[in-house]
Amino acid sequence: MAPARTWRDFLAPVLAGYCGLLIGVGMGRFGYPPLIPAMVEAGWATPTELHLAGAFNLAGYIVGAGTALATARAFGVRPAIALAALVSVLSFALSAIPLPGWAFIALRALSGATGGVLMIVIPPVIANAVAPSHKGRASGLAFAGVGTGFVLSGTAVPAFAASGPAPAWLALAAVLAVASVVMLALLPRSAPPQAARRGDPAPAWRREPAFLGLAAAYCGAAVGYVPHTIFFVDHVARDLGFGLAVGGWIWVAAGITAVCAPMVAGIAADRFGYARVLRVIVALMAIGAAIPALSHNLALLTLSAMMAGGLMIGLGASTAGRTREIVGAEAHTAAWALQTVAFAIVQAAAAYAFTALLASTSSHSLVFALAAAIMASGLAAELATARQPRKSGP
* Residues 319-362: tens digit of each pLDDT: 999 999 999 888 888 899 999 999 999 998 998 899 899 889 98
For the chain, state the CA radius of gyration. Answer: 20
- What is the per-residue DSSP string for 134-150? GHHHHHHHHHHHHHHHH
Q: Which residues pair with 294 in a beta bridge?
A: none
**Which residues belong to CATH 1.20.1250.20 in the chain?**
10-190, 205-394
Distances (CA, A) of 373 to 98, 116, 314, 364: 44, 28, 20, 14
Residue 87 · residue 114 · CB < 8 Å: yes
> 295 in the Ramachandran plot: left (φ > 0), alpha (ψ -120 to 50) or beta?
beta
What are the phi and psi torsion angles at 44 (to 5°)? -75, -30
If you average pLDDT over every residue of the chain, what do you get?
Answer: 88
Note whether 49 and 105 are within 8 A (CB): yes
Confidence of residue 128 (pLDDT cuts 50, 70, 90): confident
Q: What is the mean pLDDT of residues 136-156?
A: 86
Q: In this predicted model, what pLDDT tens digit does every residue of 291-320 receive, in sequence order?
A: 999 999 999 999 999 999 889 999 999 999
Residue 251 makes CB contacts below 8 A (sequence gap 6+) with 154, 233, 305
Residue with more model confidence, 278 or 351 = 278
pLDDT in tens, 156-193: 777 787 788 899 899 999 999 999 999 999 998 876 66
Between CA 301 and CA 237 the distance in angstroms is 11
Instruction: Write down the CATH superfamily of domain 205-394.
Output: MFS general substrate transporter like domains (1.20.1250.20)
Does domain 10-190 match CATH 1.20.1250.20? yes
Written as one string, the DSSP assignment of 27-46 is ITTTSSGGGHHHHHHTTSS-
Which pLDDT belongs to residue 245?
77
Which secondary-structure segment (H or E) carries 235?
none
- Alpha-carbon dihedral 336, 28, 55, 353, rounded to 10 degrees: 50
Work out the average pLDDT over 26-40.
82
